[in-house]
A and B are shown apart, each in its own frame.
Chain A
Amino acid sequence: MSSSFAVATSAISTGDRLVEVNDLTVRFVSKDTTIHAVNGVSFTLAAGEVLGILGESGSGKTVTLRALMRLLPEGRTQIGGTVRVAGHDVLGLSPGALSRVRGSTIAMIFQEPMTALDPVYTVGYQIAETVVRHENVSWAEARRRTLDLFEKVQIPSAQRRLDAYPHELSGGLRQRAMIALALSCRPSVLLADEPTTALDATVQIQILLLLRSLQKELGMGVVFVTHDVGVAGEIADKLAIMYAGRFIETGPVTPIMRAPRHPYTEGLLASTVHGAMRGQRLKAIQGSPPNLEILPAACSFAPRCPRVADICLAGVPPEVPTGPDRMARCVRITQN
């Protein structure tokens, strides 16, 4: 799958491609069934850029993100395509090399920080330990760096909080601690898997603003996965909308949110409730997402699409340019 998207981004960046994904496929194979979770995803990301991957559950967004770090169960996952992150061929690395790349080059933050933080150690110790191991510095130096990080992620009374256990922190502080852990070895790429979904509204916006400022300050490339259009609108520079394991629309965030072209993106935005819709009937997308036990041979959205035609069932729709740096996988766009 060629990527008009890749060409588009290189114009924004200085030409260096921090992340380069080509025709990524991920299949989960078990005794009973094979699930085609990701079916040909290509994109690039430059330093200092935030890519938002927007999709509903089962769309393959989290799997795509995890494939960038090869953080998928080895035995029953088949990964195809190429993933290059800061010059490393992630899919070809030896386990030892992979674990050096994880943490120091790529880091990840999760929806539930408790999965990343060890409950039996203090958060300060965990971060310092990571710094010591990855960067070969003394414990005193590591602890000083940890304190800096805590201040950087705006944890109040940072000195005291270093000695707190994860369960002693509130949800927002725990998320900040996880961000500090992720940033501890100065990664160039940060992967974020719905890090604000479990948080309350007033805390969510704080974390989003924090991530935005840290990303600018450190010049990181960020891939931010979310199901929430509003959250994506607050943080992403460019958007990729994912459906049934494919990017079905990509481009800069503002034009997509103001004038989506793919019928699924349109439906998604129309069914995202906001105040102005009071009293009106919501324009819901009918039906439910496809079963990915069968690799979709045509447009996966066709069964739910209001604009479906015979041509939609002919094959997987190609990328149709829809504007500067934009594309949508919908054959009906050219016909309109």
Chain B
Amino acid sequence: MSQATPLGAGPGRGEPLLAVSGLRKYFPVKGLSFGGPSLVVKAVDEVNFAVWPGETLGIVGESGCGKSTTARLVMRLIEPDSGQVRFEGRELAGGSNASLRAVRSRMQMVFQDSYSSLNPRLPIEDTIAFGPRVHGTPRAEARERARRLLAAVGLDSARFGRRYPHELSGGQRQRINIARALALNPRLVFLDEAVSALDKSVQAQVLNLLVDLKAEFNLTYVFISHDLNVVQYISDRVLVMYLGKVVETGPVDVIYNAPRHPYTQALLSSRPSMDPERRITVPPLTGDPPNPINPPSGCRFRTRCSFAEEVCARVEPPLLALPCGGHDVACHMMVPNSGHSRAGQAS
């Protein structure tokens, strides 16, 4: 049992494309603390992970667990309170605008809401060409690239290029979103709930497209979603978050077939059974996720965990690598001599 490296997992896989360590963001809560102690939402708290070139890392968790904030912090759309981000072997230090602009073309994001993520007053071709234009590509060349990308995401540029977002269906708009993200030739794409708002039949089309584009453009994905099935389908590795903390990470098969953290286990068994003859009879968890303002002490999951003991309230469990490698869990039950009565039994 060893302290997990900030990189999370995976010896012998070379240098990660993206390495995040100690990432933290507390949002102050306004209006609730007049005169009293100031309240903060611990949105992302000491998060470490790494992404290797060519893989898809899935990030799952319930609303308010910090998965979207994590992506925005790495992209520096929100300024982190602290933490290091290494991308393509270089440290992204705070401040310098020029380096940030250069990095931003290499790291892109696809948003969930296909309506609010496209400018309603701009023909979609111009939306896609906007990124290359601000990076100095001549107008004609930028437009040409936009047309090629429209074709790459399966839309006929002659028919669609001059249309406005409201003239397209949700699925088509999400394809435009993807094309826009690819317009700057990124290496890493954050997909923030990118298929969640789509109808199932359209969702499947877009998932197929994402798989194709990944191969064609040699991309690396960070796929953020609350949909456990979609994450299982598309990811190579999975990161499970709860109230701003990483609770478990590992290869997708290991996480889905042998989850070790009680939260991951509950989350996975909350999925509908897809078989009306074998319905779920007892809810795996009771109650709602606690308010991220003043999260529980120690292990943040302890208030809903059926194995919680005294040590869980006192000590925060570190994210530790299991001996099998590549699988990290933050739970006292996984740590021998942690003080939990079940400590070390499972491993």
Docked pose: A285 CA to B266 CA in angstroms: 32
Contacting pair B63 A200 (CB below 8 A):
yes
Q: How far is the CB of A246 from chain B (nearest CB, A)?
A: 17
Contacting pair B267 A283 (CB below 8 A):
no
Contacting pair A271 B276 (CB below 8 A):
no
Contacting pair B233 A284 (CB below 8 A):
no
Is A56 interfacial (CB-CB < 8 Å)? yes
Contacting pair B274 A205 (CB below 8 A):
no
* B residues 55-109 touching A (CB-CB < 8 Å): 62-63
Contacting pair A233 B199 (CB below 8 A):
no
Give the number of A-B contacts (CB < 8 Å).
135
Stretch at the interface among B8-16, B157-165, B285-293, B329-337: B285-293
Is A202 interfacial (CB-CB < 8 Å)? yes
Contacting pair A288 B202 (CB below 8 A):
yes
0/1 string, A280-292, CB within 8 A of B gives 1: 0111111011000
Is B230 interfacial (CB-CB < 8 Å)? yes
Q: How far is the CB of A181 from chain B (nearest CB, A)?
A: 18
Q: How far is the CB of A210 from chain B (nearest CB, A)?
A: 9
Q: How far is the CB of A267 from chain B (nearest CB, A)?
A: 6
Q: Find chain A residues with CB under 8 A from B256 CB.
A: 275
Is B35 interfacial (CB-CB < 8 Å)? no
Given contacts A201-B228, A209-B283, A282-B208, are A253 and B201 in contact (CB under 8 A)?
no
Q: How far is the CB of B15 from chain A (nearest CB, A)?
A: 26
Q: How far is the CB of A15 from chain B (nearest CB, A)?
A: 25
Is A2 interfacial (CB-CB < 8 Å)? no
Docked pose: A268 CA to B200 CA in angstroms: 7
Name the residue of chain B whose CB is nearest to the CB of A206. Answer: B283
Is B226 interfacial (CB-CB < 8 Å)? yes
Docked pose: A239 CA to B276 CA in angstroms: 11
Docked pose: A49 CA to B275 CA in angstroms: 18
Docked pose: A305 CA to B280 CA in angstroms: 34
**Residue tally, chain B, CB below 8 Å to A:** 47
Stretch at the interface among A32-40, A65-73, A139-147, A170-178: A170-178
0/1 string, A108-152, CB within 8 A of B gives 1: 000000000000000000000000000000000000000000000
Contacting pair B200 A271 (CB below 8 A):
yes
Is A97 interfacial (CB-CB < 8 Å)? no
Contacting pair B208 A288 (CB below 8 A):
no
Contacting pair B201 A285 (CB below 8 A):
yes
Q: How far is the CB of B304 from chain A (nearest CB, A)?
A: 8
Is A160 interfacial (CB-CB < 8 Å)? no
Contacting pair B201 A56 (CB below 8 A):
yes
Q: How far is the CB of B205 from chain A (nearest CB, A)?
A: 4
0/1 string, B272-301, CB within 8 A of A gives 1: 111111011111111111010000000000
| Across the A-B interface, the 4 shortest Cβ-Cβ residue pairs | A230-B272, A271-B204, A284-B204, A200-B62
The 24 listed contacts between A and B (C-beta, < 8 Å) are A170-B291, A200-B62, A201-B228, A202-B283, A203-B288, A203-B289, A204-B270, A205-B280, A206-B285, A209-B281, A209-B282, A228-B200, A230-B273, A253-B276, A254-B276, A271-B203, A273-B203, A273-B207, A274-B232, A274-B233, A274-B274, A278-B232, A284-B202, A284-B205
A-side residues, CB < 8 A to B, are 56-57, 156, 170-173, 200-206, 208-209, 227-231, 233-234, 236, 253-254, 257, 267-268, 270-275, 277-278, 281-286, 288-289
